[in-house]
Amino acid sequence: MPKKFSSLFSSRVMRLMFSIKRANMTKHFIRFSSIYCFLFELCFQARNALARTPARHSDALLFSPASYSPISGTPRSHTALAGSGKIVYTFGNPTLIGTAKWASAKQKKIDVKQLLRHKGATLDEPKSNYMYDCLRERCDIAADRIFHIGKDLCKKVFGANADDYELSQVDEHSQELTKTIGTICCDHEGPLDPSSTMLAGSDEARCLTVRLNFSKAKSAAVFPGQIAIVSGKNPKGDTFIVDEVFTERQLSPPTTPSLTDPLSFVIAAGPYTNDDDLAYEPLQDLIVYLKDHKPDVLVLTGPFLDAEHKLISENLTLAESFESFFEKMITSIVEAIGTMTKILIVTSHKDANADPVYPTMSVPLRKSYPNVHVLPDPSMIDLNGIVMGMTTTDIVQHIISHELAFNAGDKVKRVVNHLFHQGSFYPLQPPACDEMSFDSFLAARYAKIEQIPNILILPSDQKCFIRVVNGCLAINPGRLADNNGGTFARFVISPPANESEENIHNFVACQIRKV
C-alpha cells in the first residue's frame, strides 16, 4: 500500500473511530476496528506478495516495442504451459540422437551463399521493382512453365518415345484413351472440388478449357496452377473423363553434403509473441535455451512483428518505427547469444516493416553484424556444402486447403512433392493469401526450385512435421508462439559415412521441442 494512501486512510479511520467513541457506539467501533485491521493486513500481504514475485525474465521487456499505449492486456505465462521443454517429434539415426551434442563446442567457419539467382543476381541485388508485370508477361510466363515442365513430364510418361508422341487438345473428341496437357484451374474462387476442377489447355492463343470428371480415376491430387498430363476420354468435347493424372517429373536426388565436422541447427518460425500482447515471451524463452545450447546455425523465419497482429492492426501507438524495433530485436538476439552462432533471418511478407509482396526482399539492417544474414523469401542457400531451402509463406497450408485429393497418400509428402515436381516454392495459382500480392515476373526468377535441397524449411500452421521426400529433409518447426505451447526444431547433421550415402536419415539427428 503506498505511504500517502496508507496515511490518508489511517487518519480518516481514526477520525471516524473518535466520532464513534464519542457517540458511545462501542459495539460498532469494535466491529469497524476489526474490519480495518483485516483490510490493512490484506493490503500488506498483497504488497509483500508482489514484492516476492520475481520477474519472469530479468529482461522481460527486452523485445517489446516502445509504446505510448499498453502493449498487453493480461500477459499469459508462456512457461507455465504443460510440456515446456518436451520433445514432441524425433527423427533420424537412433545412435546419433542418443549421442547428439545440440550445442556447438567451438566456433566454426560457415560460408553462406545464396543460390536463387537470375543471371548471377539475387532478388536483393538488382533493386527490383514490384508489380511491374503486365498481363501479357504473365501469359508468357505461364506458357513457358507449361513448355518446360510439360517437356519433362512427357519424358517421364513416354520415355524414349516422348518426341514422337502427339498430345491431344483439351477439347478434342475421343472415344478411346488419349492424353492431353494443361494447367489445373477452378471455375470459381476457392478450393477445388469434384464439380469445379478444370484443365486449361496449352494453346495460349485459343485459351481452351475442359471440365475434369474424376469418377473413373483410382487416385488423384491436383491443385490450381499445377501442370499435369491427363489420361482419359473426352466423348463430347466438354468433359474429360479422367483415368489417370501424371504430375511427376524425373528428379535428381540432392548431393550428399561434404562435411568434415557435425553442424548443429536451431530453427524457429514466427510469430514470436502471443496474439494478445507484444511481450515476446516465447522469444525470450528461446533465447534462454540458446544461451545454454549455442548452435552453429540459428534460422529465424518471420513474421517478427506481424502487421496483422491484433494490437498493431488496431492502431496501437508505438513510440518507435517498425524498422527501429526490428533493429533492436536483432541487436538483442546477437548480444544475448554472442557471435559464435551464424544467424539467418528470413523476411516475411507479413512483417510490418517488409513489402507485402511475394517474393519478398530482405529487410536491410542499419548496423551490420558479421554473423547475421538477412535473407529474402524464398531463399536457397549453401552452408558449407549443405543446401538449404526456406520460405516463410505457408505454402503447405495453402495447397492442402485448395487441392482436390483422394487416395493420394500422406498429405505432407504430397505437398512437398508438388513443390519439387512443379519446380517452385509457390506453384499455387492464383495465390491463396489475400494479404499477399504475387509478382509473377519476380517469382519466375527468384522462387524457382531447380535443385532438390538437402534441407527444406516449410513453416506452417499445420502440425509440426519432419519428412524425407525425394532425399530431402522437409521440416515444419511449428510456430514459436502458439496457444497450445510453441515449438522449434533442432537438428545435427554429421559427416556421412561415405560419399555415396544418399539416405539423410542415416546421418542426421532431429527433434522438435516445446519452447
Does the domain formed by 136-246 have CATH 2.40.50.140? yes
Residue 286: how many other CB atoms lie within 10 Å: 23
What HEC string does 208-251 produce? CEEEEECCCCCCEEECCCCEEEEEEEECCCCEEEEEEEECCCCC
Q: Please give the Cα distance from 240 to 210 (Å, whole number).
A: 7
Cell of 165: 508422341
How many Cα atoms are found within 13 Å in the side-chain-facing hemisphere of 225?
Answer: 25
Question: Which helix (DSSP H) or strand (DSSP E) does residue 395 occupy?
Answer: helix 395-402
Contact in structure between 102 and 295 (CB atoms under 8 Å): yes
Whose grid coordinates read 511475394? 358
pLDDT of residue 32: 42
Query: Is residue 477 within 8 Å of residue 462, measured between CB atoms?
Result: no
What DSSP letter does each residue of 96-155 carry, written as one string? Answer: HHHH---S-SS-----EEE---BTTB-STTTTPPTT---HHHHHHHHHHHHHHHHHHHHH
CA distances from 143 to 165, 201, 394 (A): 20, 10, 26
Q: What is the mean pLDDT of each run of 10 residues along the chain (515 residues)?
A: 42 42 43 45 41 42 59 52 87 95 91 93 82 84 94 92 86 94 92 94 83 97 98 95 97 91 97 93 96 97 93 78 93 94 97 94 93 97 96 97 96 98 97 86 96 98 97 98 94 88 92 97
* pLDDT reported for residue 133: 80
The answer, as to whether pTM is greater than 0.75, is yes
Q: Is the Cβ–Cβ distance between 447 and 426 less than 8 Å? A: yes
CA distance 504 to 210: 42
Residue 406's identity, in one-letter code, is F
Distance separating alpha carbons of residues 157 and 248, to the nearest angstrom? 9
Spacing of C-alpha 409 from chain mean position: 23
Residue recorded with cell 510453441: 486
What residues are paired with 469 via a beta bridge?
472
All three cell numbers of 282? 516465447
| Domain residue extents for the chain | 3-52, 89-132+252-394+433-514, 136-246
Q: Residue holding cell 481452351?
A: 208
* Confidence (pLDDT) at 70: 56
Q: Give residue 314's pLDDT.
A: 77
Measured CA to CA, the distance from residue 259 to residue 113 in angstroms comes to 16
- pLDDT value of position 48: 41
Average pLDDT, whole number, for the chain? Answer: 86
Set of cell numbers at residue 132: 511491374
Position 245 scores a pLDDT of: 98
CATH topology of domain 89-132+252-394+433-514: Purple Acid Phosphatase; chain A, domain 2 (3.60.21)
pLDDT of residue 50: 34
Task: Classify 78 as helix, strand or coil.
Answer: helix
Which grid cell sits at 389? 531451402
AA letter at 192: L
